[in-house]
Structure 1
Amino acid sequence: MTEQEPDAVKARYARRDAAADEARYSLYGNAAALQAQQERLRAMVRTWADHGWPSLGSRRMLEVGCGSGGNLQDLLRLGATPACLTGIELLPARAALARRLLPKDVTLLEEDAVHANISPASQDAVLAFTLFSSLLDAGFRHQMAQVLWRWVAPGGGVLVYDFVVDNPGNPDVRRVPLQELQALFPKAHLQSHRLTLAPPIARRLPAWMVAPASQLLRPLRTHRLTWAVKPR
């Protein structure tokens, strides 16, 4: 049932090996993770610059499922103002770590995003990074998409970074193809970029080969960064 999905997400994350996750996604000494982050940031900057945003300084931006705050830290490095940023995280341990790492002016909410008290049309951008792939209940996916869309101001958008292929080694995630994103945000204009060399391949390559391999092996990219723009 849709109402049970947040508890199911908590249970799925509780089964994961926290130490293995930290090693897999740490940027230090991890060429595959570092390349994926840098490639994603370049695509974000290009997308928002093409959208007519010369800077992020005054943009109100919110991330759902902010984890320990890594993406919010990236927004700060790109010039976002701490007081304009909000993160929502369902898992208490991750929310606590984000609070320790982020500036105090960043708003952090520890709760189910569906019930968060966010004003309609109050955000220029809402980030959903590997969020929808973690929601296995189709009804809850649609409910979450409607909530995120309601928060976005006209002329803003939802920025989705997620899997477009299934991971046979992880039954706790499900791919989110471009066609489904259009169905989740039927009134949006989508701008999308295929990114991220398949991590199992990238992790096996020497560090110096990861970036050129990502360029040469475009059919083996496993994620999309999609900017779903709300009409003015």
Structure 2
Amino acid sequence: MSTPEPRAVENRYARRDSNADAQRYSLYANAAALQAQQERLRAMAALWRAHGWDNLVDRPLLEVGCGSGGNLLDLLRLGALPGQLTGIELLPERATVARAALPEPVRIVQGDACTTPITDGSQQAVLAFTVFSSLLDPGYRQQFARTLWRWVAPGGGVLVYDFVVNNPHNADVRKVPADELRALFPEARLHARRLTLAPPVARRLPAPLIGAASLLLHPLRTHRLTWAVKPR
């Protein structure tokens, strides 16, 4: 019998080198990670402004797979209110770090998103950043997408940031092609932007050159930010 997908994800993360991950994704120590975060924030704000959102005040926002809370902190910096934010994280140790890092009104839930009691239609946006690529079971990917879609209010959307290419050095993740996103969210209007210079390339560059290289080397961008909008 195959391992249920949430447990399989836990097992895959348990195999990873947490110290190496901390260095690889540190905004302080890794200029490539900082550039990717800033580029993603600019694109996210641009997508939402184009959607007609002048600000994030009083908009309920939820992130699935919130990790240690970095993206939720970014939402606060963009103007979201703590009491309107929810983070769901499967791994207990990461949920604990997020709880310590974020203001108390931010709700942090530890567990499987598909069994978390979130009211249907209650969220203006649901974020899933490099989550779908970690779900290797196609059936669970579909269940996960249906769950997130239920939570979104009409006129809101699901914001997906994920790989568009496979990582040859990491068999624990799988790319999320545009065609698959269309199949996962068949009712949505999709607005997408290609982002993030391939990290192995970006890490080799001097920090001042990473941003310019990301603009010039568009074919080497490895991720896509997709805003899947639910019709009103």
Same fold (TM over 0.5): yes
Query: Counterparts in 2 of 1:45-64, with a 5 A limit?
Result: 45-64=45-64
- The offset of 1:69, in angstroms, is 0.2
What's the secondary structure of 1:93's corresponding residue?
Answer: helix
- The offset of 1:30, in angstroms, is 1.4
Partner of 1:194: 194
Q: Which residue type is aligned with residue 178 of structure 2?
A: L
What's the secondary structure of 1:27's corresponding residue?
Answer: coil
Query: Please, which runs of 5 or more residues in structure 2 have no aligned partner?
Result: none
Partner of 1:12: 12
Give the count of matched residue pairs. Answer: 232
Q: Distance in 2 between matches of 1:2 and 1:125?
A: 32
Q: Distance in 2 between matches of 1:22 and 1:169?
A: 18
Query: Counterparts in 2 of 1:28-67, with a 5 A limit?
Result: 28-67=28-67
Q: Distance in 2 between matches of 1:172 and 1:20?
A: 16
What's the secondary structure of 1:59's corresponding residue?
Answer: coil
Q: Which residue type is aligned with residue 163 of structure 1?
A: F
Partner of 2:227: 227
- The offset of 1:208, in angstroms, is 1.2
Q: Distance in 1 between matches of 2:37 and 2:69?
A: 14
Say what the alpha-carbon RMSD is for the aligned residues: 0.9
Contact kept in structure 2, 1:3 and 1:140, CA below 8 Å: no
Say whether 1:102 aligns with 2:121: no
Partner of 1:71: 71
Q: Distance in 2 between matches of 1:119 and 1:168?
A: 39
Contact kept in structure 1, 2:23 and 2:29, CA below 8 Å: no
Query: Please, which runs of 5 or more residues in structure 1 have no aligned partner?
Result: none
Q: Distance in 2 between matches of 1:80 and 1:31?
A: 26
Q: Distance in 1 between matches of 2:10 and 2:92?
A: 10
What's the secondary structure of 1:39's corresponding residue?
Answer: helix
- The offset of 1:29, in angstroms, is 3.0
Q: Which residue type is aligned with residue 205 of structure 2?
A: L
Partner of 1:126: 126
Q: Distance in 2 between matches of 1:85 and 1:182?
A: 27
**Matched-pair identity in %:** 69
Q: Distance in 2 between matches of 1:153 and 1:179?
A: 24
Contact kept in structure 2, 1:2 and 1:140, CA below 8 Å: no
Query: Counterparts in 2 of 1:130-149, with a 5 A limit?
Result: 130-149=130-149
Q: Distance in 2 between matches of 1:211 and 1:31?
A: 10
Per-residue CA deviation, residues 75-111 of structure 1 (Å, 9 max, x unaligned), is 0000000000000000000000000000000001001
Runs of 4 or more consecutive aligned structure 1 residues displaced over 3 Å after TM superposition? none
Partner of 1:90: 90
Contact kept in structure 2, 1:89 and 1:112, CA below 8 Å: yes
Q: Distance in 2 between matches of 1:43 and 1:202?
A: 18
User: Residues 201 and 148 of structure 1: is their aligned pair in 2 closer, same or farther, counting only changes over 3 Å?
Assistant: same
Q: Distance in 2 between matches of 1:96 and 1:27?
A: 20
